[in-house]
């Protein structure tokens, strides 16, 4: 196990985390933008108004994208364990 392998593994881990969290982040961003536009047009300046729709949207996104996220994480874990078995065994 050399430094190139560890650096490559860290890069794959960061990419996997970004790929797994992207759907929730994008949906939260879109919902927040829509709520902000609504607040600007109606001049409602309630700070807590944006939190509840974002939380609901992220929970719905987790339900919709959950199987895909789980598959992504399981594939990454399988590749880690497969690569480690080459170095150990």
Q: How far apart are CA 19 and CA 22, in angstroms?
A: 5
Per-residue pLDDT of the chain (89 residues; tens, 9 = 90+): 678 888 988 999 999 999 999 999 999 999 999 999 998 898 888 878 888 999 999 999 999 999 999 999 999 999 988 888 777 75
Q: Is 43 helix (H, G, I), strand (E, B) or coil?
A: coil
Cα dihedral: 66, 67, 68, 72 (round 10): 100
Phi, psi of 43 (to 5 degrees): 60, 35
Helices (H), ranges, the chain: 3-42, 51-88
């Amino acid at each position: 196990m050399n430094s190139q392998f560890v650096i490559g593994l860290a890069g794959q881990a960061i990419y996997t985390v970004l790929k797994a969290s992207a759907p929730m982040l994008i949906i939260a961003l879109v919902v927040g933008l829509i709520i902000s536009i609504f607040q600007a047009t109606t001049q409602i300046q309630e700070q807590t108004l944006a939190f509840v729709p974002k939380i609901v949207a992220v929970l719905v996104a987790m339900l919709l994208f959950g199987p895909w996220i789980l598959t992504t994480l399981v594939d990454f874990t399988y590749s880690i364990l497969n690569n480690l078995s080459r170095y150990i065994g």
